[in-house]
Amino acid sequence: MIKLGVNIDHVATLRQARMGAEPDVLEAALIVEKAGADGITVHLREDRRHIQDSDVYNIKKHISLPLNLEMACSDDIVNIACDIIPNTCTIVPEKRMEITTEGGLDAAGQYSTVAKVVERLQNKGIKVSLFIEPDNSQIDAAKQMGAEFIEIHTGLYANTEGEKQLQELERIKNAANYAHGIGLIVNAGHGLNYTNTQKMAEVEHMHEFNIGHSIISKAVFTGLYEAVVEMKKIVRR
Ligand code: PXP
């Protein structure tokens, strides 16, 4: 059964719109936990546009679900991760002006930088996932530097339709198969929603999906508990 990690960054986006205390990110994490999710994901960005350092500390302290911290290869954030010790860190690329993460990490092209971060995190007992494109050279790089997980970037799949979307799904299937074959655990995420996740859940070897924006968007109308329950039904297959 595929696991569901719920990314609650956008609860913090709403809070930061007024720089106040509500909606409370920890309360969101508690509801996500109660609704049956398998993990909580947050992205501590260098620009701190949504999640703040205190959110990550609070979630780690009060939530029993595994915490997955998305982060860039930045010394500042790696230091915080090494202090908080989340269950998993997912290394992502980060550009200051982007609206959200654009594309996968170039683990092959930035091998030594990424490998050093992987080693630092693993020395603290943190499992490491690399957010990469469904591309064998990136998968090989992840394996070679000792990452336990990859998270396949599903953004292109989510943003295309028809034949193009089917081609991208095929590329993701092949990548999942290849990564599983060389001993990596395969996650996926970005742009997954209530209509496009079903097909992704049929891909062999998927371990966990990390889904944020669509769940928080639905929650505006249904409440967060219901939005998580609905997505969990789809992910369950
Ligand atoms: N996985 C990673 C690595 C991400 O960076 C994001 C966005 O923060 C997600 C999953 C969730 O994407 P979405 O909000 O589109 O569901």
pLDDT digits (tens, 9 = 90+) for 127-153: 999 999 999 999 999 999 999 999 999
- Give the pLDDT band (50/70/90) at residue 237: low
- Give the pLDDT band (50/70/90) at residue 99: confident
pLDDT digits (tens, 9 = 90+) for 172-187: 999 999 999 999 999 9
DSSP 3-state of 6: strand
Question: Average pLDDT, whole number, for the chain?
Answer: 96
Closest by CA to 51, choosing from 5, 16, 6, 90, is: 16
Out of 190, 213, 218, give the residue to mutate to test ligand 1, the one with the largest number of ligand atoms within 8 Å of its CB: 190
Q: Which phi and psi (to 5°) does residue 68 adopt? A: -110, 115
Atom of ligand 1 nearest to the CA of 190: 12
180 is catalytic: no
pLDDT digits (tens, 9 = 90+) for 5-23: 999 999 999 999 999 999 9
Q: Contact at 8 Å (CB) between 5 and 41?
A: yes
Q: Contact at 8 Å (CB) between 230 and 190?
A: no
Domain boundaries, the chain: 3-235
Q: Is the CB of 213 under 6 A from ligand 1?
A: yes
Write down the catalytic residue from 10, 43, 50, 207: 43
Q: Which CATH fold topology does 3-235 show?
A: TIM Barrel (3.20.20)
pLDDT digits (tens, 9 = 90+) for 191-201: 999 999 999 99
Q: Is the pLDDT of residue 95 over 90?
A: no
